[in-house]
Chain A
Amino acid sequence: ETGVTQSPTHLIKTRGQQVTLRCSSQSGHNTVSWYQQALGQGPQFIFQYYREEENGRGNFPPRFSGLQFPNYSSELNVNALELDDSALYLCASSPGTIRSYEQYFGPGTRLTVT
């Protein structure tokens, strides 16, 4: 059983640019959630996708957007990058059943905005 994978591992962007992060969910999982984790903090919920539809969103501006594909992989897009967007971005998948909060995390993408 393959776990959650994310790409790229690290990324450096300039303020104002756009970025796309990718996530492949664990086999058999149809729900993907994205989190932002600032240094020294716990993960903060960005949004969740279930069967290709957004299924809940945290307190993040519209320049954070996402997609889920038929194979349940997912993308996180961030437009007009700001310095405060520098963080570890985590993707988590879950089976979408009654125990959908048992989320399994990928290793994350470390984004640095300069």
Chain B
Amino acid sequence: GQQLNQSPQSMFIQEGEDVSMNCTSSSIFNTWLWYKQDPGEGPVLLIALYKAGELTSNGRLTAQFGITRKDSFLNISASIPSDVGIYFCAGSFNDMRFGAGTRLTVKP
């Protein structure tokens, strides 16, 4: 089963709002990654984090690798309709574990 707790499960926001989601684990990870999945497609890598405390941006997306190595968050600023989809966190130590996803809906 899943070892990552991802929250919230779903979010309904207005276009232009900022979004924040996070992932926690009882185990430490060496790498945290964030993916986005659109219907009928495979997950697409958004951001990869390799060091505790690391803060990385990719356009309007910002993600951080928690100091304890047991958590990570993803922020999306000024959301737009194409941000709609399911966002997954993933952590790796010897293999890759995924959270259950955060379903984001953006109302124009």
Contact residues of A with B, CB < 8 Å?
4, 33, 35, 40-45, 48, 56, 58, 90, 92, 99, 101-108
Determine whether the beta carbon of B95 is less than 8 Å from that of A45.
Answer: yes
Determine whether the beta carbon of A45 is less than 8 Å from that of B48.
Answer: no
- Min distance, Cβ A6 to any Cβ of chain B, angstroms: 8
Apart from A41-B2, A99-B50, A107-B42, what are 10 other A-B pairs with CB-CB below 8 Å?
A33-B96, A41-B100, A42-B4, A43-B98, A44-B98, A48-B95, A58-B95, A90-B43, A99-B48, A107-B40
Q: Is the interface of A mostly helix, strand, loop or mixed?
A: loop
User: What B residues does A102 contact at CB under 8 A?
Assistant: 33, 45, 48
Contact residues of B with A, CB < 8 Å?
2, 4, 6, 31, 33, 35, 40-45, 48, 50, 88, 90, 92, 94-101
- Min distance, Cβ A50 to any Cβ of chain B, angstroms: 12
User: What A residues does B90 contact at CB under 8 A?
Assistant: 42
User: What A residues does B100 contact at CB under 8 A?
Assistant: 40-42
Interface-central residue, B6, B90, B99, by most chain A CB under 10 Å = B90
Determine whether the beta carbon of B98 is less than 8 Å from that of A101.
Answer: no
Determine whether the beta carbon of B94 is less than 8 Å from that of A56.
Answer: yes
A-B contact pairs, 30 of them (CB 8 A): A33-B96, A40-B100, A41-B2, A41-B100, A41-B101, A42-B88, A42-B90, A42-B99, A42-B101, A43-B43, A43-B88, A43-B98, A44-B2, A45-B95, A45-B96, A45-B97, A48-B95, A56-B94, A99-B50, A101-B31, A101-B48, A103-B96, A104-B45, A105-B35, A105-B42, A105-B43, A107-B40, A107-B41, A108-B41, A108-B42
